[in-house]
Structure 1
């Protein structure tokens, strides 16, 4: 038998062996160890590891500032210092405060709410690529990592919200029954953050340059979200379409919802409820599905 014929025979033999092994595996209900589970099975696996997700998030929070003198205080000081810089630039130098009542509370609310989403998205984008050794060593649903990063930021948000409420009171805003609704926009924003974090986790796992671009992308997002200015005031002389686009921005919607409860002292309008709920549901469904589709590929190479 010539060499080409021998090679062809070996290939056919390997093919038959692979088919026999595949049939044997099906016969005894075996499957690949790294095969992507079905969506219901994947959700059950995540639920079974809920304690790991919370513990991992907590340990990251504790260790993040362990080497600094002020420790966990930086969880609150960082957004406050950012707010102080923005107040100097936009409130004093650009004089935005003349058009907005209680500008300090307006600004701090915007910064705190936006920071929650910003940090969750940036952390989620790095959650897979920064934990390759863990992924390659242990078998677990990879979505646990971006979920842990999202819950880490949620834990930090509790400190920020406590400070925000105090500062809003200090600036002269009264406590109203609307404050009881504060968990509602935070819950919708958390769901949105989780979905966006899952989406960006897959992108960041395979396109590493995204992690370098994200700070610039989120900074642009910050300027377009009405953190420093009133969208309605800035767009009153512009076409309605521009205002609609800016208000449909998910970050702007969550910020405006929170300002209604804390500062404006009135129930958010229907568009705010609809926009916030839409982005939460849309981001979670698309982000989770997009991440799950690549479950078999994380940690390879």
Structure 2
């Protein structure tokens, strides 16, 4: 009896066709944006627990522990007050300069710390990235969550400073909450953007302190924002007044400092519009930019 050859059912199919038939996918393949967002949401409990653990361990080797969450911004504010308030005497140009300065320092440090730590979000977690499969965006988001938890402690101290320096407690204080929410969304997008850049440009973490210091000086943290109009061309002053940290700082001062109301850089409505725009643009833009590099993280 002659042997009858039986053709293999998959003969003649390419690797791509075989993979599609059996539901195989490339390891580490980037999912769609909607799927990626769904997966990231599924890891929300992990991000919450991880951020709390990071906060608890961040000062575990120091004697004062988490008290440094308050002492660090207070020390910075004291140094800046000595230089700008006493030596340069800017306190003569700003009503309640202590509260004005502390509000600027505390709010700016939220963005500064998120950006600085976000630069290392990928490179400092390569072991975790290579060992486990999860949406890498969880790492920069966790960075912002850590900084937000530290900010809340700072806000308690800031409220005490504002009251002790003679500012009244008003209903406008409630506006601080949405301002911080918008700043947090902005920070998440910024952190994701610098996290991807930091994973590609390893020297970025060395450059960031200089970038952030320049950004602070351009954000009206240490001196009257009115100096922009006095010392710069109109186009440059307008550009600096739309600077996102300055916008969030001015909203915080609007909420907390009754003495600052006549000196706001713009109308409250315009400041809220800018804050919302920056939160949307940076929040969505940073997320999409980070997602597009999902396949790159931990490679090489």
Q: 1:31 to 1:98 in 2, by over 3 A?
A: same
Match of 1:181 among 151, 175, 184: 175
- Which structure 1 segments of 5+ residues have no match? 1-16
* Cα-Cα RMSD: 1.7
Q: Distance in 2 between matches of 1:282 and 1:161?
A: 26
CA-to-aligned-CA distance 1:228-263 (integer Å, 9 cap, x gap): 111124423643222211111001010011101111
Q: 1:101 to 1:131 in 2, by over 3 A?
A: same
Could you say which residue in structure 1 is the equivalent of 2:108?
114
**In terms of mean alpha carbon deviation, does 273-282 or 108-117 score higher?**
273-282
Decide whether the 8 Å contact of 2:104 with 2:221 is kept in 1: yes
**In terms of mean alpha carbon deviation, does 102-111 or 234-243 score higher?**
234-243
CA-to-aligned-CA distance 1:111-135 (integer Å, 9 cap, x gap): 0000000000111110000000000
Q: Distance in 1 between matches of 2:130 and 2:233?
A: 53
Using the TM superposition, give the Cα deviation of residue 19 of structure 1 relative to its aligned residue in structure 2, in angstroms: 6.3
Could you say which residue in structure 2 is the equivalent of 1:142?
136
- Normalised by the size of structure 1, how large is the TM-score? 0.92
Match of 1:49 among 43, 50, 54: 43
Could you say which residue in structure 2 is the equivalent of 1:35?
29
Could you say which residue in structure 1 is the equivalent of 2:145?
151
**In terms of mean alpha carbon deviation, does 165-174 or 18-27 score higher?**
18-27
Q: Distance in 2 between matches of 1:256 and 1:134?
A: 39
Using the TM superposition, give the Cα deviation of residue 32 of structure 1 relative to its aligned residue in structure 2, in angstroms: 1.4
Q: 1:18 to 1:163 in 2, by over 3 A?
A: farther
Decide whether the 8 Å contact of 2:54 with 2:146 is kept in 1: yes
Equivalent runs, 1:71-220 vs 2, <5 Å: 71-220=65-214
- Which structure 2 segments of 5+ residues have no match? 1-10
Using the TM superposition, give the Cα deviation of residue 286 of structure 1 relative to its aligned residue in structure 2, in angstroms: 1.2
Q: Distance in 1 between matches of 2:68 and 2:216?
A: 21
Q: Secondary structure of the equivalent of 2:135? A: coil
Using the TM superposition, give the Cα deviation of residue 298 of structure 1 relative to its aligned residue in structure 2, in angstroms: 0.3
Residue 281 in 1 paired to residue 275 in 2?
no
Q: 1:68 to 1:26 in 2, by over 3 A?
A: same
Using the TM superposition, give the Cα deviation of residue 180 of structure 1 relative to its aligned residue in structure 2, in angstroms: 1.1
Decide whether the 8 Å contact of 2:168 with 2:258 is kept in 1: no
- Normalised by the size of structure 2, how large is the TM-score? 0.92
Residue 63 in 1 paired to residue 57 in 2?
yes
CA-to-aligned-CA distance 1:199-239 (integer Å, 9 cap, x gap): 00000001000010000100010111000111124423643
CA-to-aligned-CA distance 1:70-95 (integer Å, 9 cap, x gap): 00000010000000000000000001
Q: Secondary structure of the equivalent of 1:167? A: helix
CA-to-aligned-CA distance 1:145-164 (integer Å, 9 cap, x gap): 00001100000011000100
Q: Distance in 1 between matches of 2:281 and 2:198?
A: 20
Q: Report the count of equivalent residues.
A: 286
Q: Secondary structure of the equivalent of 1:110? A: helix
Structure number with the higher helix fraction is 1
Could you say which residue in structure 1 is the equivalent of 2:8?
none
Q: Secondary structure of the equivalent of 2:14? A: helix
